[in-house]
Structure 1
């Protein structure tokens, strides 16, 4: 894997049970593409829906946000990954989701691999806005959305 991509993955602020990024395929200042495969034994399938598990829309939205907004945001703000510094005194920062508007077109089932493609609309004054699409393995649209987030300084945050 690309060393830069691995550095971005290492900065994701999620533990394994709530991290919905397996790999980054493409990443630059204009957008990113990444993949995730939903594990059959994920905690949310047990009760949604028993005997006929379906990935909850909130988890699909979270996956789109993690790959489409957070991965791109980390790339854009971390000084050691990008010379376009937007941090204050190199303090640790990460994007926080402020809004998401998502339209769903297909279900996501356990074991399914998805691709998330994000295109940056703007990044200024610490705010990132992206158009994000999730595709299945046949390149069919699962969901499309617009996500926005702000850069949050981790030190001193309550």
Structure 2
């Protein structure tokens, strides 16, 4: 972790971070914004947050009718989004500045139990490595203190032009 955190620390955020503050760090919007709150963050180290899983989620209409289960790929995406917020804070950047963190890969992905409507998905990410715009995170998702999923997630910092 070679990045100096002084730029990240000077950014204005207040914990817990609510929807408006989260949207300033993530380019995703409904229905693909999968982080509802950030509860703890230490730039260049770790972050914790949550996703409230409601029966009103669009994906429950098809996954699966009569047996609603949150798709595993969306659990991984929610872990990637919480990691992306940590990446932006650690780099001292935001999407409005012309930067985006793109999902570059996932290793060691494991699912331990199902996530169903009414669950609160507790998300955490720890920064493992940062080199030349590539960030690697160790991520976990828990429900009621039990591990639901884990993964090592890679994101790549990209300069973008918003349309």
State the TM-score bracket (shorter-chain normalisation): 0.7 to 0.9
1:32 and 2:52 equivalent? no
Displacement of 1:79 = 4.5
Q: Structure 1 residue aligned with 2:66, among 51, 73, 77?
A: 51
Q: Which residue of 2 aligns with 1:97?
A: 103
Any stretches of 5+ residues in structure 2 without a counterpart?
1-12
* 2:79 pairs with 1:72: no
**C-alpha offsets along residues 37-81 of structure 1, whole Å, 9 cap, x if unaligned?**
1121111101111111111111111111111x211111122348x
TM (norm. structure 2) is 0.81
Please give the residue correspondences for 1:123-134 in structure 2 after superposition, counting only pairs within 5 Å.
123-134=130-141
Aligned residue for 1:140?
A: 146
How many pairs does the alignment contain? 146
Equivalence for 2:6: none
**Structure 1: where are the runs of 5+ without partners?**
81-89
The 8 Å contact of residues 8 and 74 in structure 1, kept in 2 or not, is answered as no
* Structure 1 contact 91–155 (Cα < 8 Å) conserved: no
Alpha-carbon distance in structure 2 between the residues aligned to 1:59 and 1:4: 23
- Whether the 8 Å CA contact 2:38–2:48 is kept in 1: the answer is yes
Q: Which residue of 2 aligns with 1:15?
A: 29
2:78 maps to 1:63 = yes
State the distance in 2 between where 1:106 and 1:3 align. 29
User: Please, what TM-score do these two structures have when normalized by structure 1?
Assistant: 0.83
What secondary structure does 1:18 align onto?
coil
The aligned counterpart of 2:14 is 2
Alignment partner, residue 7 of structure 2 = none
